[in-house]
Amino acid sequence: MSIKEMIREHPHVGSDFNEELAEAVRHAMYCAAICNSCADACSAEDMDMAACIRLCMDCADICTATYRVASRRTSGNVRVIEAQLRTCIPACEACAIECEKHDHPHCRRCAKMCRECARDCQIALEGMFAAG
C-alpha cells in the first residue's frame, strides 16, 4: 500500500494532489520509524548516547505529527501543515548533525533519513507557496 496513493484517492484531493507534500509525508513516516529505532539502538551502545537518544526521540515524535497532519485532506488546514513542515526541518537537521558524530551504522542510516526528510519538507513548503 502506498501513502501517496491513499492521499491521491481522498475525495477532497482530486486534481489538487501535491506530489511534493505526499513525498514529505512518506519520508516523515520512514524518518519517524528510523529515528525511533536509532534511539533504541543508541540505548544499547556502551557509551553515553543521551544527546543522540533525545534528539532521535524528539525527531521521531515531530515526524509522526508531521506525517499525520499532512496526510489529512478533509477541510485542509494549510497553515497547520505549513507550520508542521517548518517544525520538522530543524528537528531532522539537529538529529542528523548529532547522528553524524557517531560511527554506528544505525546512526549513519538515521542521519541519512533525517537529511532526506528535511529536504523533502523544504521542497513541499516551496511547492505549497508556488501553488498558493
Domain ranges of the chain: 3-131
| Domain spanning 3-131, CATH architecture | Up-down Bundle (1.20)
- Give the DSSP letter string of 7-67: HHTSTTTGGG--HHHHHHHHHHHHHHHHHHHHHHHHHTSSS--HHHHHHHHHHHHHHHHHH
pTM, rounded to two decimals: 0.90
> Could you list the pLDDT tens digit for every one of the 132 residues in the chain?
576 666 656 556 665 657 788 899 999 999 999 999 999 999 999 999 999 999 999 999 999 999 999 888 766 678 998 999 999 999 999 999 999 999 999 999 999 999 999 999 999 999 877 755
How far is 52 from 66, CA to CA, in rounded Å? 21
How far is 131 from 16, CA to CA, in rounded Å? 10
